[in-house]
Chains A and B, each alone.
Chain A
Amino acid sequence: MKFTSVFDIIGPVMIGPSSSHTAGAARIGRVARDLFGRQPKWVKIYLYGSFAETYRGHGTDVAIVGGLLDYDTDDERIKTAFEEAQKAGLQFEFIPETANKEHPNTARLLMGDDAGEMSVEGISIGGGKIEISEVNGFKLRLTGGMPAILVVHDDRAGCIANVANCLAMHDVNIGHMEVSRIERGLTALMVIEVDQNIDDRIIEQISYIPHITKVSKINN
């Protein structure tokens, strides 16, 4: 089931005009920022389908930038997000694409700063609800509705167990977990949905585990 809560239907409280194109877009930007772990310095925003056709009229552009500045869907500053981005030192560029994606409301954010780069693809599935469909080339399905951890790691035996053990030690319960890899023996990605928001200290500990290359989190 894509929609689980009544507040997916009656809600969110948001700045108009479009739940898919404004609120959903803001959430994609915010989750991307969460996954990057900080505000990026620059971002290239590729828009597909209905997003590409109507992003200016729907305020999709200001909403994504607002999300990257950590604004929630009802933050009044979404309206002036471009000016706020300039103040905050965030450079952005919109690139409407003609390619067809699986979902008509898709955005791919390529972002970075001096310390690194990351690519996050999100889809806005209606009523302000979103899913993250790709991170750094890894296909995944993440709703952003639950706290989650993303762990990029070498595809070696024991990695998954070590991360699960670390979470168990801190009494963190895993609700759902997926592992995907681009090619066997190379890099893999764990997507772990958990029951509560994760402390930065735990993220740091996971990052020290051998063969773990990157850890990101989404709080709810």
Chain B
Amino acid sequence: MDVLFRSVRELVDLAENEGKLISELMIEQEMLISGRSRDEIFAQMDRNLTVMEEAVERGLRGVQSVTGLTGGDAVLLQNYIAQGKSLAGDLLLDAVSKAVATNEVNAAMGTICATPTAGSAGVVPGTLFAVKNKLNPTREQMIRYLFTSGAFGFIVANNASISGAEGGCQAEVGSASAMAAAAIVEMAGGSPQQSSEAFAITLKNMLGLVCDPVAGLVEVPCVKRNAMGASNSLVAADMALAGVTSRIPCDEVIGAMYRIGQAMSPNLKETARGGLAATPTGKAITHAIFEGGNLKDILKSRTVSH
């Protein structure tokens, strides 16, 4: 199949040689592969963006999952930001809360847009709607943010994995966070090379992340991993925009992620047999949900909420 780029190196070289944005190359490639017009492709991404907006709004109004394990944290974070006491900074915490909002809606079986997966659906919209307040992008630029994320995600999906069952959580929230970092850089006016540096820095710092969902649900620890993924994206984007580079080239980081995923025990790849799922509390939660134990008592016994 004819494609414009298969690696980050090819993508960045092409963008720089032709003086094009990464988002533009992703749009051109989609036109090439699908045979559809630019307008059709833009319209579909516009609809995805609307789904993301609605999910964030719904999450910020407050949702609860069917199990009661997750929900409501996005609201807590927004209230905390409103008190003006945040230490990490309002924009960063806003991104975190909006990532959480999306994943809380996902856990509640609400409608979301997978970016690249449902378990990692919070990071790309969370960071987008937070930087939106700072950078005041046009609707087109917001749609381009998704194409830029998609270009990097396309490379990861084809050269490594975006599935927790195949590569652990590094492949899901790790990929999502790195994709978002690259897109933030483009929206902030950084170069294609700086996007790739931000991508590499983010993914490097999420390598080895296991997929260990308690009770096999996409709730604990998935929601909070999206929160931390979003903060990773913003910090890495700032680092790249400041001129910091990754000593290990982006494509090699992706290769390392793939091989780490291959080496990981199946117990740590979405089977709910290891990691947090296998802790005493993780097992107690599983028992409570599927064999009729008392989940409320387990959650109440935690001094810190889930």
Q: Look across to chain B and name the residue whose beta carbon is closest to the beta carbon of A16.
A: B106
Residues of A within 8 A of B213 (CB): 54, 57
**A59 touching B109 by the CB < 8 A rule?**
yes
**B118 touching A126 by the CB < 8 A rule?**
no
**A9 touching B154 by the CB < 8 A rule?**
yes
The number of chain A residues with a CB under 8 A from chain B is 41
Min CB gap A168→B, angstroms = 20
Min CB gap B203→A, angstroms = 15
**B149 touching A19 by the CB < 8 A rule?**
no
Residues of B within 8 A of A54 (CB): 213, 216-217, 270-272
Q: Mark B81-120, 1 if CB is under 8 A from A, else 0.
A: 0000000000000000000000001111111111111110
Additional pairs, 20, CB under 8 Å, beyond known A5-B34, A18-B117, A128-B114: A2-B157, A6-B41, A7-B150, A8-B154, A10-B146, A11-B48, A11-B113, A14-B112, A17-B118, A17-B119, A17-B218, A50-B271, A53-B271, A54-B271, A57-B215, A58-B217, A78-B109, A104-B266, A126-B157, A127-B116
In A18-45, the 8 Å CB interface with B consists of 18-20, 22-23
**B30 touching A50 by the CB < 8 A rule?**
no
Given A13-B47, A14-B112, A17-B109, does the pair A53, B162 have CB atoms closer than 8 Å?
A: no
Does A139 count as interface, using CB distance less than 8 angstroms? no
Residues of A within 8 A of B151 (CB): 6
Q: Pull 28 A–B residue pairs with CB atoms less than 8 Å apart, ordered by A.
A: A1-B3, A1-B158, A3-B157, A3-B158, A6-B26, A6-B30, A10-B48, A10-B124, A10-B147, A10-B149, A10-B153, A11-B114, A15-B110, A16-B108, A16-B118, A17-B119, A17-B218, A19-B121, A20-B163, A20-B164, A23-B118, A57-B215, A104-B166, A104-B266, A125-B166, A126-B117, A126-B162, A127-B157
**A13 touching B112 by the CB < 8 A rule?**
yes
Does A113 count as interface, using CB distance less than 8 angstroms? no
**A50 touching B154 by the CB < 8 A rule?**
no
Q: In the assembly, what is the distance between CA of A101 and CA of B51, in Å?
A: 35
Q: Tell me whether chain A's interface is mostly helix, strand or loop, or mixed.
A: mixed
Min CB gap A124→B, angstroms = 8
Q: In the assembly, what is the distance between CA of A3 and CA of B5, in Å?
A: 13
Interface residues on B, range: 35 or more
Residues of B within 8 A of A122 (CB): none
**A125 touching B119 by the CB < 8 A rule?**
no
Q: Give the contacting residue for A9; candidates B107, B116, B171, B290; CB below 8 A.
A: B116
The 3 A-B residue pairs with the shortest CB-CB distance in the complex, in nearest-first order? A54-B216, A126-B163, A16-B106
Min CB gap B229→A, angstroms = 16
Residues of B within 8 A of A98 (CB): none
**A10 touching B150 by the CB < 8 A rule?**
yes
Q: In the assembly, what is the distance between CA of A74 and CA of B216, in Å?
A: 21
In B160-180, the 8 Å CB interface with A consists of 161-166, 171, 179
Min CB gap A85→B, angstroms = 17
Min CB gap A17→B, angstroms = 4
Does A119 count as interface, using CB distance less than 8 angstroms? no
Does B225 count as interface, using CB distance less than 8 angstroms? no
Min CB gap A157→B, angstroms = 32
Does B265 count as interface, using CB distance less than 8 angstroms? no
Q: Give the contacting residue for B119; candidates A5, A13, A19; CB below 8 A.
A: A19
Q: Mark A48-72, 1 if CB is under 8 A from B, else 0.
A: 0110011111110000000000000
Q: In the assembly, what is the distance between CA of A125 and CA of B164, in Å?
A: 10
**A19 touching B118 by the CB < 8 A rule?**
yes
**B111 touching A14 by the CB < 8 A rule?**
yes
**A7 touching B216 by the CB < 8 A rule?**
no
In B106-142, the 8 Å CB interface with A consists of 106-119, 121, 124
Does B33 count as interface, using CB distance less than 8 angstroms? yes
Q: In the assembly, what is the distance between CA of A9 and CA of B3, in Å?
A: 16
Does B219 count as interface, using CB distance less than 8 angstroms? yes
Does B204 count as interface, using CB distance less than 8 angstroms? no
Does A117 count as interface, using CB distance less than 8 angstroms? no
Residues of B within 8 A of A57 (CB): 213, 215-218, 272, 289
Q: Look across to chain B and name the residue whose beta carbon is closest to the beta carbon of A52.
A: B271
Does B269 count as interface, using CB distance less than 8 angstroms? yes
Q: In the assembly, what is the distance between CA of A22 and CA of B119, in Å?
A: 11
Q: In the assembly, what is the distance between CA of A56 and CA of B147, in Å?
A: 33
Min CB gap B273→A, angstroms = 7
Residues of A within 8 A of B34 (CB): 5
Q: In the assembly, what is the distance between CA of A22 and CA of B273, in Å?
A: 20
Residues of A within 8 A of B33 (CB): 4-5
